[in-house]
Amino acid sequence: MTTDKLNTVVQVAVPIRLRKVLDYQLPEGYSSLAEGTRVRITVKLREMTGIVVGSKKSELPEEGLIRVVRVLDESPCIPPSLLKLLRWSSSYYHHPLGEVIQTALPSILRGDSKIKPDLPFRYYLTSNGAEALNGIPKNATNQRLLLTELSKASPDGLSSSTLSKLAPSSSTKLLRDRGWINVREDSRDFLYVGQEQDSAAIALNQSQRSAVSEISVALQRYQPFLLQGVTGSGKTEIYLELATRVIKTGCQVLLLVPEIALTPQLIGRFKRGLNGKIAVLHSRLSNKDRHIAWWAAREGIADVILGTRSAVFVPLARPGMYIVDEEHDSAYKQQEGFRYNARDLIVKRAQQDDIPAVLGSATPSLESMQNAKIGRYGHLVLRDRARGAMMPKISLLNVKQLPLTFGISSPVLEALRLRLDRGEQSIVYINRRGFAPILWCPKCNWRARCSRCDVYLTLHRPSNQLRCHHCGASNKPSENCPDCKHISLKAVGQGTQRVEETLQKYLPSARIVRFDSDSIGKANVLAERLAQVLEGNVDILVGTQLLAKGHNFPAVTLVCIVDADSGLYSFDFRAVERLYQTLTQVAGRAGRASRSGQVLVQTQYPENSAFSRLMENDFSGFVDFELKQRQLANCPPFVRFVLLRAESVSSDSSIRFVTAAAQLGQQILRKQSSSIRLMDPVPSPMERRSGRYRAQLLVTGCVETALHRFLDNWLNELDKLEIGRRVRWSLDVDPLDIY
């Protein structure tokens, strides 16, 4: 058949677990469709939204093809540069392209809504309205009120929500009909607007200026930089100065942060020092607000886009620089579904867009440190704190030799009392929420366990609930032991609630605020508590990792780490790295202003090298030692890991699936000579979670191309496995956790 007689079909990526695209006949009136365009199509009689990702000639007759139901976009929803990144992501993480693309779209656009959202309106007083104000009759109360308030607000106008609170909508319509007020869409109601830069407020020191200068040389070309700066060294000021320079070139900046909790502080800092518009993207926004922020970035209205992990996929009209703050943070790794790492994708996106990427951290990941060592990343180091502040003094408290009151030693209580007398603020850090991690019977050794997970239940007060921190199950604890009926059950161990209660008992005058996910459920609650701290209305902050990440508390001079050893009780090869990073980050909250800081670390193992290097602020020595250990153990960053996970309600289906997968993998490897290794299929360390039994299989390889070639071949065979239909399974490339 000649080419001119073949039918042109579009290839559509659909948001289902399918490792191929589907062919559809063009709709009536269309001779082609641009890649990145959304279309409505039917899949097995179900209508859904897909994305056009290509076209080709088909030998099938028209009657053998399903036609696109309708085209949703006049121009592509996803620009070519972003579609290129999504294709690469699908290939690298071996995840269906349709689901990858859906991740990049606001939920509203996964249906058939228009690309442009319904924007907020602002109302303005016209010259006729200003003249009419004095002639309004006294009994026209609403009209007079509206015109008066609009005259006060001129030239900024008032939002529609403000006007609706002042008077009925009928009064607003009447004034519009008379030509006394105008209405228009205005970005100030969905973007944060920064002010002119205050050079005195962000005066950079020599180290900061050198870092800015070196990065600025690479504007308009690809170059990744690792910005390693001790806590309090002023990395945010560097981001701000870089953003200012990029905006002056007419380009946009995307800045990623690991936690929503960090966005209010960064927004405030950028508003005070950046002459531009800022859009914010994170999961706690409403669907409408996320859509508007996404659109503002896509249209180039926003100069800076500040977001969490998923913002890595936001389309930009004029990308100029990508920045990842706290680049070591595990929150950048998506742990369900499409298991991407936003930090790694931002570097790939920078390469494709030919612009610089800046990865910042006081304790960079070992992967990034290795990339800096081999010259793949430019390495910039800030060794001193900004504005002359000194690094805190770190002391280790050997709790084997100290009496403890619910996990708190007397030196910690004395240090807290001293800061309380001085009017200074303190942080008590324990990375365990709830009251006690175990409810225990001292007579028969019974412990409260989750019925759906292989873990103990955590006791929470004052709600008096036993809760599972993995599946969310909760119930009231019984008064007697369920096994032996003993009447005195013991709460063993401590969490944030118990630490708070203990401190309140021994320091009754202290104003104590708890920072954990139980006490801070919403972004506005977090903002209120942070404001309390900054206003000096809090003496002691008790919390989890919410306190360890990037916050600036100028009045905090003491940090007490209650249970530093918890990070050592893990077989995960990253456990010591995470421990060092967390302790360094939380210790860095102390002494960031004019007063010196102190850090007290309670541990049973003061001789551990991680603690001794922490005491000496010797991150470089820690990295060198850990990298040698990783290399000897054949672990990342020297070897690539891929984890096949499976879970099922049946106790044996998951292990049977990964066993069958291992056998298929070995058959492929006999034909593919390489350094790829398949470990033994095993139950997951927490075998049962949320009522499902889990198993896993670890794959390792030194050569990336060979590894991905094997994975492609392997997945083709795994999709055919009959038992695979009875389990839920996934592939995790570059997993952060191997349990």
- What string of DSSP letters covers 197-217? --TTTT---HHHHHHHHHHHT
Exposed e or buried b per residue across 653-691, where buried means at least 16 C-beta atoms within 10 angstroms of its C-beta = bbbbbbbbbbebbeebbeeeeeebebeebebbeebbbee
- Mean pLDDT over the full length of the chain: 91
Residues 6+ apart with CB under 8 A from 12: 21, 22, 23, 24, 39, 41, 50, 51, 52, 53, 68
pLDDT digits (tens, 9 = 90+) for 158-210: 887 787 888 888 888 888 888 888 888 776 667 877 765 554 456 899 999 99
Q: Say yes or no to pLDDT of 306 above 90.
A: yes
Mean pLDDT of 693-700: 97
Instruction: With CA atoms as reference, report the closest residue to 390 among 616, 618, 592.
Output: 592
> Are the beta carbons of 197 and 275 closer than 8 angstroms?
yes
Task: Write 133-142 long-range contacts (CB < 8 A, 24+).
Answer: 142/166, 142/167, 142/168, 142/171
Q: What is the rounded distance in angstroms from the CA atom of residue 130 to the CA atom of residue 491? A: 70
Beta strand 192-193 pairing with 277-281: antiparallel
pLDDT at res. 35:
97
> Are the beta carbons of 237 and 202 closer than 8 angstroms?
yes
Which residue(s) pair with 566 in the sheet?
none
543 or 7: which carries more pLDDT confidence? 543
The band of 219, judged by pLDDT with boundaries at 50, 70 and 90, is very high
47 SS3 class = strand
327 or 62: which carries more pLDDT confidence? 327
Q: What is the rounded distance in angstroms from the CA atom of residue 176 to the CA atom of residue 353? A: 46
- Give kind and range of the element (H or E) at residue 693: strand 692-701
Mean pLDDT of 299-318: 96
Q: What is the rounded distance in angstroms from the CA atom of residue 250 to the CA atom of residue 357? A: 17
For the chain, the maximum distance between any two Cα atoms, rounded to a whole number of angstroms, is 93
pLDDT at res. 202:
63
Mean pLDDT of 104-130: 90
Mean pLDDT of 249-268: 89
Q: Provide the phi-psi class of 239: left if phi over 0, else alpha when psi is between -120 and 50, else beta.
A: alpha
Q: What is the amino acid identity at position 668?
A: I
How far apart, in Å, are the Cα atoms of 485 and each of 8, 489, 695?
75, 10, 36
- What string of DSSP letters covers 344-362? HHHHHHHHHHT-EEEEEES
Residues 6+ apart with CB under 8 A from 275: 194, 195, 196, 197, 244, 247
Q: What is the rounded distance in angstroms from the CA atom of residue 302 to the CA atom of residue 293? A: 8
pLDDT digits (tens, 9 = 90+) for 439-468: 999 999 999 999 999 999 999 998 999 999
Q: What is the rounded distance in angstroms from the CA atom of residue 154 to the CA atom of residue 159? A: 12
How far apart, in Å, are the Cα atoms of 337 and each of 225, 333, 340, 469?
30, 11, 9, 20
Burial of 198 (0-12, 13-18, 19+ CB in 10 A): exposed
pLDDT at res. 196:
58
269 or 308: which carries more pLDDT confidence? 308
% of the chain at pLDDT higher than 90: 71
Residues 279, 283, 289, 295, CA torsion sign: positive
Sheet holding 540-543, edge to edge: 393-398, 598-603, 556-561, 425-429, 540-543, 512-515
pTM of the model: 0.91
Task: Tally DSSP H helices, then E strands, for the chain.
Answer: 20, 34
Beta strand 682-689 pairing with 192-193: unpaired
Exposed e or buried b per residue across 388-411, where buried means at least 16 C-beta atoms within 10 angstroms of its C-beta = ebebbebebbebeeeeeebbbbee
> Are the beta carbons of 693 and 452 closer than 8 angstroms?
no
Q: What is the rounded distance in angstroms from the CA atom of residue 330 to the CA atom of residue 333? A: 6
Tokens of 379: 């390495």
Which single residue is written with the structure tokens 């100290």? 402
Q: What is the rounded distance in angstroms from the CA atom of residue 327 to the CA atom of residue 362? A: 9
Query: 649 φ, ψ to 5°?
Result: -75, -20
The residue ranges of DSSP E strands in 612-689, in sequence order, are 640-648, 677-678, 682-689
Least confident range of 102-116, 191-205, 242-256, 570-584: 191-205
Instruction: With CA atoms as reference, report the closest residue to 416 among 615, 605, 599.
Output: 599
580 or 190: which carries more pLDDT confidence? 580
Which single residue is written with the structure tokens 């910005």? 227
Mean pLDDT of 71-91: 97
Sheet holding 22-25, edge to edge: 22-25, 7-13, 46-58, 38-43, 70-71
> Are the beta carbons of 542 and 512 closer than 8 angstroms?
yes
Torsion of CA 646, 649, 652, 653, to 10 degrees: -50
Q: What is the amino acid identity at position 688?
A: R
Q: Say yes or no to pLDDT of 692 above 60.
A: yes
Q: What is the amino acid identity at position 593?
A: A
pLDDT digits (tens, 9 = 90+) for 532-553: 998 999 999 999 988 877 778 8
Tokens of 620: 């470089």
Alpha carbon distance, N-terminus to C-terminus of the chain: 54
> Are the beta carbons of 323 and 305 closer than 8 angstroms?
no
pLDDT digits (tens, 9 = 90+) for 387-442: 778 899 999 999 999 999 999 999 999 999 999 999 999 999 998 999 999 999 99
pLDDT digits (tens, 9 = 90+) for 482-497: 999 998 899 999 999 9
Instruction: With CA atoms as reference, report the closest residue to 122 among 52, 187, 64, 71.
Output: 187
**Number of CB atoms found within 10 A of residue 60's CB:** 12
Instruction: With CA atoms as reference, report the closest residue to 11 among 31, 39, 30.
Output: 39
% of the chain at pLDDT higher than 70: 97
pLDDT at res. 4:
56
Instruction: With CA atoms as reference, report the closest residue to 350 among 305, 312, 296, 304.
Output: 312
Q: What is the rounded distance in angstroms from the CA atom of residue 417 to the CA atom of residue 540? A: 10
Tokens of 38: 């959304």
